Structure 1
């Protein structure tokens, strides 16, 4: 199984493809250089396979590479960051 995380700026979200099938996304609202993440969803066919965690990890890695920051209204992303404190430096209070 191969994962690919890509940003879809037109839809304000990062998407994860599993073997070329859209498996989930995490949506954001841009606020300057901060992306406020509001919701993460994984297709039922791909749940409990690590797809959600791979989506968030790939999203945060891309944001880190470009020097961005995140605010987390999304409980799934907030919980992921709590379990993976190496990403805590990307989080800012909601703008």
Structure 2
């Protein structure tokens, strides 16, 4: 199983693929240096493999590298940040 994650900036989302097939995505709005992650989806046949966590980690790492802040309105992203302790807490936009 080959897993790849891509940033589709034209559509404001990160995508995760398994063997070249779309398995999930995380959508965001970006404005004034802030990415608001509002929707994360793992397609039903790919659930239970940790793909949403891998996708979210990649998206947050990319956001950090670009010096952007985060508003996690998506419950999965919000819970992922909370579970990661201090790793991503610095990204939260007040």
| Structure 2 Cα separation of the partners of residues 84 and 2 of structure 1 | 25
Corresponding residue number in structure 2 for 1:40: 40
Alignment of 1:11-90 (within 5 A): 11-85=11-85, 86-90=87-91
User: Which blocks of at least 5 consecutive residues in structure 2 are unaligned?
Assistant: none
Q: CA RMSD in A?
A: 1.1
User: Any runs of at least 4 consecutive aligned residues in structure 1 with deviations exceeding 6 A, and if so which?
Assistant: none
CA-CA distance at 1:3 after TM superposition: 2.3
TM-score by structure 2 length?
A: 0.91
Q: Partners of 2:5 and 2:71 in 1: how far apart?
A: 19
The whole-number CA distance in structure 2 between the counterparts of 1:60 and 1:3 is 18
Please report the TM-score for the alignment, with normalisation by the length of structure 1: 0.90
